[in-house]
Chain A
Amino acid sequence: MPVDGQAKLAVYKFSSCDGCQLSILDLEDELLALAERVKIAYFLEARRHVDPGPYDVGLVEGSISTPEEAERIIDVRRECKFLVTIGACATSGGIQALRNWADVEEYKRTVYAHPDYIRSLDTATPVAAHVLVDFELRGCPVNKYQLLEVLGAYLTGRRPQIPTYSVCMECKRSGNVCVMVAHGTPCLGPITQAGCGALCPSYHRGCYACFGPSDSAGPRSLCRFFMERGLARPDIVRMLRGFNGYLEPFKQTSDEYESDHIRYG
């Protein structure tokens, strides 16, 4: 980080919903202070003015899903000292990575009258599949306080403190009754990284893995348990192929559960 003067921050958007960058504007109590500490040099959703690079920290939202994006991400990497991906799209490919298991030409025909007008890659992939990434922040969307922690860390030159254990830990800490034990509700909490504060179980529903696999995730044994509880293979494939389905070990496990079974859909 520059010792003199303000650090320059850039926020980029690729294929995404804007929700992760919106988390910055949702920092209502911290936003003005943040704008005083760092120079928000490039952030199209919020500013018309663009300060030219290079930038100290670049936050990237969104996956790489078009030929232009595959080129642009290389330029982005070049102009940022630290590159941080924010959210599931940028880190795992996001929900649009479902196309990676499908025929994109067929997708185009389904949505558009003139599929030939549409330029799109066959896959939607994480940023790290294209360039070196310094830190990947999980979540669909990211937790805005985790985002603040990551920014703070890079601004002061330390590693961000982001836990990689599972949602189960957060659930126990907030005193939730386990939804699987109490109600038999299938829950991906045991294999999903913490970060949301165990939101879904707190609202009596099963976790659906917005934060992707936890560091020691063992999806196979959990999925076996689901099958014993009466879930069918296609149900399990769908559960794993959510907002982080293209991240390992979710991807491989979903492929295994699919291969023994006819394709759904």
Chain B
Amino acid sequence: MKATTSATASPTRVIEVKNLARVEGEGALYVRVAGDEIAEVRLDIFEPPRFFEALLRGRSYNEVPDITARICGICPVAYQMSSCHAVEQAFGVTVGEPLRTLRRLLYCGEWIESHVLHMFLLHAPDFLGYESVVGMAADHRDLVTGALALKKAGNRIVSLFGGREVHPINVRVGGFYALPRKERADELLEELRRNRPFAEQAVRFVAGLKFPELDRSYEFVALRQPTEYPFNEGRIVSSNGLDIPIAAFLNSFHEEHVAHSNALHGRTKDGRPYLVGPLARLNLNFDRLPESLRSLCREIGFTVPCRNNFKSIIARGIETLYAVDHAIEILEQYDDSVAPHLDIVPRAGIGHGCTEAPRGILYHRYDVGDEGLVRRATICPPTAQNQPQIEDDLRAFLPQALALPEEEATLRCEQLIRNYDPCISCATHFLRLHVERTT
């Protein structure tokens, strides 16, 4: 990463990072500072468009989860889940127990895999002063090997119940194609139990990191379910009192297309940015955590509301531990003799699905014709929804950052962007950090 700065005396100051690293996808940031005023902040996304919403038209409903998975190799399960729920709603079908719980299990695997990847391989190096996990591993070998083993356990859930880690083949509208044998599930259960102590140690570790100051009045948006921590269903709620069914998503949020981005920007109907993702989920669903986890939070001094998104790494840690415990609980009850899926009869209709991807709510809407062929598809990925909020955070944080030496300032801005674990492939799209300063 290169930072170029014109001399301080010159009217224009520029910090440029050509390619933002340790994020999924390609993007850049442009910041222009005039005197003491931050004139412009732009998160550029030039990840090439792949036109999924267009190419889905004319495809059969049973291909939809396989195709949408390919939007993102890091969170394919999220795409498959939102797709399946939306198509099922269009067909008037609800997947009940025990398949509903097995879908939560699969999602736990993806949260563990994705959160641990981000916490230890992508984000922790920022906090500890390394350029990558490779350098970090030299000094923190146990931490890195522990993280890799935990990540692997998460991936094992996805590969056993989904067939493979990236782009699972076992997810279908109506449930699963087949369910793994009990013996295999028991081995997985043991692997998770072995990794549980590290998952707790990880929470304590991330809670002990040093966090830059940031206090934002975010509008948190997440799903909320009657009793459980949210994955696949519920209502969409916000810290400003929004409480709507999933089907009303497009009435409350909209996407804008701005010139610098191949992603669409999500905003509330009255034009404000909002925050989705682990910190939003945890703030809105703290009471849905089991008491054991709430008391761990008290012990490490994590309280809600938490309005510093640098601490999203703690939220990821807590959610990872939740997912490990929840997966253990589900596997202890696992019965491989149940029917793997409901029988599906396609019919014309419109359906909505919204599930909690590791990075936040992922909304899908499909208009399906009589023969089960897609007529129209709408997909709102979490990173596109967060993009205006990332820019807003940068505006708030820049005065602090710009007081630092240039290299350090650039690094902190990048770290702030990585707070969001931005998945630029999902948002369709590339980041570049570029600060221009005029006096």
Given A22-B73, A35-B134, A203-B169, A16:B425 Cβ within 8 A: yes
Cβ-defined contact, B73 with A265, below 8 A? no
Given the complex, which residues of B lie within 8 Å of A112, measured CB to CB? 49, 257, 264
Residue A46 at the chain B interface, CB threshold 8 Å: yes
Cβ-defined contact, B72 with A18, below 8 A? yes
Counting chain B CB atoms within 10 Å of each CB, the highest count among A40, A69, A106, A264 belongs to A264
Given the complex, which residues of B lie within 8 Å of A220, measured CB to CB? none
- Of the candidates A28, A31, A40, A95, which one forms a contact with B55 in the assembled complex, judged by CB atoms under 8 Å apart? A95
- Of the candidates B155, B166, B414, B425, which one forms a contact with A141 in the assembled complex, judged by CB atoms under 8 Å apart? B166
Cβ-defined contact, B169 with A110, below 8 A? no
Cα A94 to Cα B71 in complex, Å, equals 11
Cβ-defined contact, B178 with A203, below 8 A? yes
Cα A74 to Cα B315 in complex, Å, equals 42
Residue of A nearest to B172 (CB): A205
Residue B235 at the chain A interface, CB threshold 8 Å: no
Given the complex, which residues of A lie within 8 Å of B164, measured CB to CB? 141, 196, 199
Cβ-defined contact, B70 with A94, below 8 A? yes
Cβ-defined contact, A102 with B74, below 8 A? no
- B263-279 vs A, Cβ < 8 Å mask (1 yes, 0 no): 01000000000000000
Q: Please report which residues of chain A, range 9-51, place their CB below 8 angstroms from some CB of chain B when the two chains form the complex.
A: 13-23, 25-26, 28-29, 31-32, 35, 40, 44-50
Cα A96 to Cα B63 in complex, Å, equals 15
Given A48-B1, A48-B131, A238-B60, A26:B166 Cβ within 8 A: yes
Stretch at the interface among B35-43, B144-152, B208-216: B144-152
Q: Please report which residues of chain A, range 107-140, place their CB below 8 angstroms from some CB of chain B when the two chains form the complex.
A: 107-108, 110-114, 117-118, 120, 124, 140
- Of the candidates A22, A40, A113, A124, which one forms a contact with B74 in the assembled complex, judged by CB atoms under 8 Å apart? A22
Given the complex, which residues of B lie within 8 Å of A253, measured CB to CB? none
CB distance from B273 to the nearest CB of A (A): 18
Cα A25 to Cα B122 in complex, Å, equals 11
Cα A94 to Cα B167 in complex, Å, equals 14
Cβ-defined contact, A19 with B66, below 8 A? no
Cα A31 to Cα B178 in complex, Å, equals 31
Given A96-B50, A265-B58, A203:B72 Cβ within 8 A: no
Counting chain A CB atoms within 10 Å of each CB, the highest count among B22, B70, B74 belongs to B70
Cβ-defined contact, A45 with B48, below 8 A? no
Given the complex, which residues of B lie within 8 Å of A106, measured CB to CB? 54
CB distance from A83 to the nearest CB of B (A): 19
Q: Please report which residues of chain B, range 35-92, place their CB below 8 angstroms from some CB of chain A when the two chains form the complex.
A: 46, 48-55, 57-60, 63, 66-67, 70-74, 76
Given the complex, which residues of B lie within 8 Å of A21, measured CB to CB? 73
Given the complex, which residues of A lie within 8 Å of B308, measured CB to CB? none
Chain B positions within 8 Å of A, measured between CB atoms, are 1, 19-26, 46, 48-55, 57-60, 63, 66-67, 70-74, 76, 117, 121-122, 125, 131-134, 137, 144-145, 148-149, 151-152, 155, 163-167, 169-170, 172, 176-178, 256-259, 262, 264, 373, 414, 425
Chain A positions within 8 Å of B, measured between CB atoms, are 13-23, 25-26, 28-29, 31-32, 35, 40, 44-50, 65-66, 68-69, 94-96, 98-99, 102, 104, 106-108, 110-114, 117-118, 120, 124, 140-141, 196, 199-200, 202-205, 208, 210, 235, 238, 242-243, 264-265
* 29 A-B interface contacts by CB (under 8 A): A14-B48, A15-B48, A17-B70, A17-B425, A19-B70, A25-B117, A26-B155, A28-B149, A32-B144, A44-B22, A46-B133, A48-B21, A48-B22, A48-B132, A49-B1, A65-B50, A99-B51, A111-B54, A120-B49, A196-B164, A199-B163, A202-B163, A203-B176, A203-B178, A204-B178, A208-B169, A210-B167, A242-B63, A265-B373
